[in-house]
Chain A
Amino acid sequence: GAVVSQHPSWVICKSGTSVKIECRSLDFQATTMFWYRQFPKQSLMLMATSNEGSKATYEQGVEKDKFLINHASLTLSTLTVTSAHPEDSSFYICSARDYSSYEQYFGPGTRLTVT
């Protein structure tokens, strides 16, 4: 089956620093990848849609300059949380849409803790 990986799975950083999270589709090509944020016991909230080779589309209320998204290849998208603050602590999940089937597959998530 289609596999999406995320790295790192867990990261702790100090307030004011930046953190990069990678999302890779391992056995399929994804022209579109999505980044979600999930707070404990809550649903997934779409943050942005990332299209290969173009600028990401951000959902209303999501700061573009804070959450930098790059989708440089058909198998890799990155989310960089810049100048992280404790309120950015959350579970970040990516998904990749198979360009041929349009099925969306989710990564295992990255737990970010900002101290």
Chain B
Amino acid sequence: QQQVKQSPQSLIVQKGGISIINCAYENTAFDYFPWYQQFPGKGPALLIAIRPDVSEKKEGRFTISFNKSAKQFSLHIMDSQPGDSATYFCAASSGNNNDMRFGAGTRLTVKP
């Protein structure tokens, strides 16, 4: 069922560093690429999302880079903080967001 490949599985970053998580997809019909943040025991929360008409989107410390030809997109967290420690999921969907598929998740740990 997973049509989105995500790496790395886990990531440890020092406070203030840059966290980078990568995703790749195969289905060219996908046209919406969100990133979700999930804390233990909680539901995923939308962090930032991008559509294929732009190559980059930035919101605060979070940036999505999108490469349509390579069918890859990535999340960059600048100035990573211990409070960013969570599991991050990339996802992709098509049409009216009716078939969202998730990556396997990346467990991020930001060390103080």
Contacts and interface: CB of A to CB of B under 8 A. Distances in A.
Given A59-B1, A106-B36, A44 B44 contact: yes
B61 interface: no
Contacts of B100: 34, 46, 104
B45 A45 contact: no
A111 to B, nearest CB: 7
B96 interface: yes
A44 B41 CA distance: 13
Given A103-B46, A103-B97, A111-B41, A46 B104 contact: no
Contacts of A43: 2, 89, 102-105
The A interface, classified by DSSP as helix, strand, loop or mixed, is: strand
Contacts of B103: 43
A3 B12 CA distance: 31
Contacts of A34: 100
Nearest to B105: A43
Contacts of B2: 43
Given A43-B103, A44-B89, A46-B1, A106 B45 contact: yes
The B interface, classified by DSSP as helix, strand, loop or mixed, is: loop
A42 B104 contact: yes
Classify chain B's interface size.
Answer: 20 to 34
A104 B45 contact: no
A102 to B, nearest CB: 5
Contacts of A32: 98
B80 to A, nearest CB: 21
B42 A109 contact: yes
B60 interface: no
Contacts of A59: 1
Q: Output the residue of A44, A49, A105, A111 with the most chain B CB within 10 A.
A: A44
Contact of B97 (A4, A102, A109): A102
Interface of A: 4, 6, 32, 34, 41-46, 49, 59-60, 93, 95, 97, 102-109, 111
